[in-house]
Chains A and B, each alone.
Chain A
């Protein structure tokens, strides 16, 4: 996993609420057996017509908005457990998703893939979205070490699990941690009461 400490970038506004994993990456694009290349189909049905021509009014097709930070509406990532949703956002080039509420499984999947979910208040989110729309060049700083997001002199702190934060900063993951617990896991197995 890539190391993550700080991202300074412009943002891409997508203020829809309840953006579900079927919008992020529709099921018919989950047929690959590797992790790469999912960015091409990120938001596929919002981004392209059925004849594969781009939909001009969708934000990813709008040259004005660019950057590594997706600024989305409330309850982002609800629906399926498909990690392909996190892969496709990351593969497209996003490193951060900002929302005022995230679905659980998506949040976990994102953290396992070097994509940082930043949960802010509804007010901060609407302020940030308006600022980007007013000036697409607005610079946003996401500082994981200090758990702070800021733009135009406004800032807010965000929560992140302490263990996950360490993992992101150093670029290591849960497998590294778990396989080192082998003897404790084996001891648990011999004592477990569950059949």
Chain B
């Protein structure tokens, strides 16, 4: 019987199978950041343990940092303490760290791939649910809790039950104005916010194959928003080309040898998945969310539904009340005062280029505050070297320094209570971008058009 991509990578990492369906799974790379690691370091110290394989770890601060004046000490005492704790722990335990100002600093899920740490066939974890991003390279990558961070620190392994497998196939060419973000918002709207729970997803089909690595990362990133443990895409020539020459990627002969192995990482033709879905790219249009979970998405030109097929009406009504929307109404014409372009979903160079390309020679609407936050120092530098910073500032966008920023309402960057924000991030939960903030998830292109128009529009009528 054929094997799925997931099964190939997983079984190559099983150290030991236990009774009762649990495997001891070896972890090739462990990314850490300031928010979910301090208690893990303390746990280790409490037990008198040391790091088992510190050379397989990389650390960077991203969640709880300002995105302005990063060269100055962090103003807020608790945030400063949390970041300092990461620095101290990394110094003490000799973990590779890219601190503020370091040319490799950035959101963990942006720097892993761009530094060549994320490779096909690897297992990767991080104390952050969007670790699923790295699956775009054909890695098994998933988020873990802090107790598990401590487990990996102590043993480079995790006890895991093997998830079920799901394949989502998307075929065909994309319509103008439709980006990877629209594909994944469309899929989540079809499957619901819990539709992937218990599964590891493989994305396949001609549409997926035609996507750049950046776009594939956007798709895998949001797998967790369906409840899936992770998402992955079989590596191909685009993957190898992206990896070649990156800082920590294998070089020369080692690279060729690696590619030969990576080429075996695809689902066999006879492989059987526990669940399969197939979608047609032609059905996908620019999307936006109207509710308080990422499954509550619609085509931007369509109306808010009257109810959700599954789920209670009460929860649905509560969600709409929070958002200030009515069942059955169209979002077109709704004034929007905040636009956030950033987060591990859409803060890579390609995203910045899409925005700059659209806003070039235009000016944001007077009512809009538009923030654009690169995912890493490298993305920031690339944007500057391409002159995107000039284009963006001429259009009235504020280009910040790298970090998670307004994705999660933890650092200084927040959306004010009651305000709407069209955001390229991944979660529209109540208060996610700040207490009372109302988030509408969309692609970088929808965000860019919204910033220029100052309201929600049918973007297909505004394409350059």
Check if A and B associate.
Answer: yes
* Contacts from A to B (Cβ < 8 Å): 15-18, 20, 22-23, 26-28, 30-35, 45, 50, 73-75, 78-84, 86, 101, 103-105, 108-109, 112-113, 161-163, 173-175, 177-179, 181-182, 184-185, 188-189, 192-195
Say yes or no for B22: interface residue by CB 8 A criterion.
yes
Within the complex, which residue of B38, B314, B430 is in contact with A22, where a contact is CB–CB below 8 Å?
Answer: B430
Could you say which residues of chain B place their CB within 8 Å of the CB of A188? 15, 26
Report yes or no: B312 in contact with A17, Cβ–Cβ below 8 A. yes
Report yes or no: A163 in contact with B20, Cβ–Cβ below 8 A. yes
Shortest CB-to-CB span from A85 to chain B, Å, is 9
Say yes or no for B18: interface residue by CB 8 A criterion.
yes
Give residues of chain B (291-348) contacting chain A, Cβ–Cβ below 8 Å: 293, 311-312, 314-315, 318
A103 and B194 in contact, given A79-B129, A192-B12 (Cβ under 8 angstroms): yes
A86 and B409 in contact, given A79-B429, A163-B18, A194-B28 (Cβ under 8 angstroms): no
Q: Mark B363-392, 1 if CB is under 8 A from A, else 0.
A: 000000000000000000000000000000
Could you say which residues of chain A place their CB within 8 Å of the CB of B315? 16-18, 73
Could you say which residues of chain B place their CB within 8 Å of the CB of A32? 78, 82
Report yes or no: B435 in contact with A45, Cβ–Cβ below 8 A. yes
Q: Mark B273-304, 1 if CB is under 8 A from A, else 0.
A: 00000000000000000000100000000000
Could you say which residues of chain A place their CB within 8 Å of the CB of B38? 33-34
Could you say which residues of chain B place their CB within 8 Å of the CB of A30? 35, 63-64, 410
Shortest CB-to-CB span from A43 to chain B, Å, is 11
| A194–B148 CA distance with the chains assembled, in angstroms | 22
| A173–B258 CA distance with the chains assembled, in angstroms | 36
* Contacts from B to A (Cβ < 8 Å): 12-13, 15-16, 18-22, 24, 26, 28, 35-36, 38-39, 42-43, 47, 49, 52, 63-64, 78-79, 81-82, 85, 119, 121-123, 127-129, 131, 143-148, 150-151, 154-159, 161, 163, 193-194, 197-198, 227, 229, 250, 254, 257-258, 261, 293, 311-312, 314-315, 318, 408-410, 417, 427, 429-432, 435-436
Report yes or no: B293 in contact with A33, Cβ–Cβ below 8 A. no
Within the complex, which residue of A17, A81, A178, A189 is in contact with B143, where a contact is CB–CB below 8 Å?
Answer: A81
Report yes or no: A179 in contact with B155, Cβ–Cβ below 8 A. yes
Shortest CB-to-CB span from A64 to chain B, Å, is 20
Shortest CB-to-CB span from B12 to chain A, Å, is 6
What are the 9 A-B residue pairs with the smallest beta carbon separation, nearest first? Answer: A83-B145, A27-B410, A81-B143, A109-B145, A33-B38, A178-B155, A31-B78, A112-B147, A162-B20
Within the complex, which residue of A26, A35, A81 is in contact with B435, where a contact is CB–CB below 8 Å?
Answer: A26
| A28–B147 CA distance with the chains assembled, in angstroms | 21
Report yes or no: B410 in contact with A75, Cβ–Cβ below 8 A. no
Report yes or no: B194 in contact with A81, Cβ–Cβ below 8 A. no
What are 18 A-B residue pairs whose CB atoms fall within 8 Å in the complex? A18-B194, A27-B63, A30-B63, A31-B82, A32-B78, A78-B227, A80-B128, A101-B194, A104-B163, A105-B143, A112-B148, A161-B20, A163-B20, A175-B154, A177-B159, A181-B155, A192-B13, A194-B122
Majority secondary structure of chain A interface residues (helix, strand, loop or mixed): loop
| A23–B319 CA distance with the chains assembled, in angstroms | 13
Within the complex, which residue of B79, B151, B197, B229 is in contact with A178, where a contact is CB–CB below 8 Å?
Answer: B151
Report yes or no: A33 in contact with B82, Cβ–Cβ below 8 A. yes
Report yes or no: B151 in contact with A195, Cβ–Cβ below 8 A. no
Majority secondary structure of chain B interface residues (helix, strand, loop or mixed): loop
Report yes or no: A104 in contact with B159, Cβ–Cβ below 8 A. no
| A179–B78 CA distance with the chains assembled, in angstroms | 33
| A9–B415 CA distance with the chains assembled, in angstroms | 40
Q: Which residue of B lies closest to A176 (CB)?
A: B47
Most buried by B among A15, A86, A179: A179
Could you say which residues of chain A place their CB within 8 Å of the CB of B161? 161
Within the complex, which residue of A22, A73, A163, A179 is in contact with B159, where a contact is CB–CB below 8 Å?
Answer: A163
Q: Which residue of B lies closest to A48 (CB)?
A: B435
| A181–B306 CA distance with the chains assembled, in angstroms | 55
A175 and B47 in contact, given A80-B128, A80-B129 (Cβ under 8 angstroms): yes
Shortest CB-to-CB span from B292 to chain A, Å, is 8
Report yes or no: B293 in contact with A105, Cβ–Cβ below 8 A. no
Q: Which residue of B lies closest to A102 (CB)?
A: B197
| A172–B247 CA distance with the chains assembled, in angstroms | 41
Could you say which residues of chain B place their CB within 8 Å of the CB of A20? 293, 427, 429
Other 8 A-B pairs with CB < 8 A, given A35-B42, A108-B145, A185-B157: A34-B38, A73-B315, A81-B145, A103-B194, A181-B155, A194-B13, A195-B119, A195-B121
| A103–B143 CA distance with the chains assembled, in angstroms | 12
Could you say which residues of chain B place their CB within 8 Å of the CB of A33? 38-39, 42, 81-82, 85
| A194–B10 CA distance with the chains assembled, in angstroms | 11
Shortest CB-to-CB span from A22 to chain B, Å, is 4
Could you say which residues of chain A place their CB within 8 Å of the CB of B145? 81-83, 86, 105, 108-109, 112
Could you say which residues of chain B place their CB within 8 Å of the CB of A31? 35, 64, 78-79, 81-82, 410
Shortest CB-to-CB span from B10 to chain A, Å, is 12
Could you say which residues of chain B place their CB within 8 Å of the CB of A184? 15-16, 24
Could you say which residues of chain A place their CB within 8 Å of the CB of B163? 104
Could you say which residues of chain A place their CB within 8 Å of the CB of B193? 18, 75, 78
Q: Which residue of A lies closest to B43 (CB)?
A: A175
Shortest CB-to-CB span from B15 to chain A, Å, is 4
Shortest CB-to-CB span from A67 to chain B, Å, is 23
